Amino acid sequence: MVDGERLQPLLKELRIFTKSRPKSEPLPTRVDFVSLSKDQLTEFQERGVVIARGILDYDDLQPVIDEIAEFIDVRGLELKAAGKIDDLKKEESFERRFGLLCKQSTEISHGMDIMHRRGPAMFSFLSNDHLLQALESIIGPEITCSPIQHIRPKPPANENGQGADSFNVVPWHQDAGVMMEEAENTNIVTCWLPLGDSTKEMGCLQVLPGINKVGYLKHHAAHGTTVVPGQIVEEKAIDLECERGDVIFMHRFIPHRSMPNRSDQCRWSIDLRYQTTGQHTGRTGHPAFIVRSVSNPASVQSDYDTWCEDWLDALDNPKGFIGHRRDV
């Protein structure tokens, strides 16, 4: 596993900064902090989901992408040294390289997720002002970052529709189903962010809008945590195609899924969750932290080392609930 402390020395020593790696075209630089419009808020309240187009810029996202690419560099070298990878595919783009490495070893993703990698660029992004300003429109100025947060690489699927990792096909579920029952009424919002294009061909997010008015649906253990059959009408699903710079905001009761990636590029995304401070997090075994506060600015967690220590303590000394809610 590659952690934040080991990453930079390894990169420097091994001289594997890939200057030839193509970078995505820069997004327009934002200098303003945009709240959601009245129409967008109405859409979120009525349908439970809204896409905020272009609220993030190049400088918001590129450090996170670079940090993931550096992880792949080091992890690839470790696997090559272990005889599990033959070709590091260093000349390939960020969008293509991960899928090609996955074909050689699915272990390329081990240790990549936010809680394990604990990268400084990711920590900084969790308090991104462009994101929080839009989010404040929904949940108010007292904002806590939920511990339910993930980096999601979706590599190209094979002929059978299965990919190189467990996230290639994600079945129907509500995010309320992956947290404790005590958090069912928490004002928690999922922020789904693509790090590149997310098209139908690539297995973009699908949602069933309006189910937020119905409330929580029963879940069971099937291919992860899934909505019990018979409670939704899949034919009413809509595709949420989006691109880098967009953010999908989802209500905790919105059923969503993704289908196989049929393209030749990896579909990269991050899903984060934020909630009103003081409410139940739904994951008592993992650390939440305050990212914005008008009433008590001193409570905002801005120290990277403390964040890392909190995660290390949670992982090394398990306590509290860290599982999914299952009703059947």
Read off the pLDDT of residues 84-113 as tens digits, 9 standing for 90 and up. 999 999 999 999 999 999 999 999 999 999
Domains of the chain listed by start with CATH number: 4-316 (2.60.120.620)
Query: What pairs with residue 272 in β-bridges?
Result: 191
- Cα 178 to Cα 6: distance, rounded to the nearest angstrom: 31
C-alpha triplet 104, 77, 115: angle, nearest 5°: 90
Q: Which residue has the higher pLDDT, 278 or 26?
A: 278
Cα of first residue to Cα of last residue in the chain, in angstroms, is: 35
What pLDDT is recorded for position 188? 97
Confidence label for 163 from pLDDT (cuts 50, 70 and 90): low
Is pLDDT at 69 greater than 70 in this prediction? yes
Of 59-68, 112-121, 216-225, the least confident: 216-225
- Give the H or E element holding residue 313: helix 304-316
What pLDDT is recorded for position 46? 97
Of 21-25, 94-98, 188-192, 201-205, the least confident: 21-25
Query: Percent of the chain scored above 90 by pLDDT?
Result: 81
What pLDDT is recorded for position 97? 97
Read off the pLDDT of residues 126-142 as tens digits, 9 standing for 90 and up. 999 999 999 999 999 99
Is pLDDT at 155 greater than 80 in this prediction? yes
Only one residue has tokens 């990698």, namely 117
Name residue 157's amino acid.
A
Mean pLDDT of the 200-205 span: 96
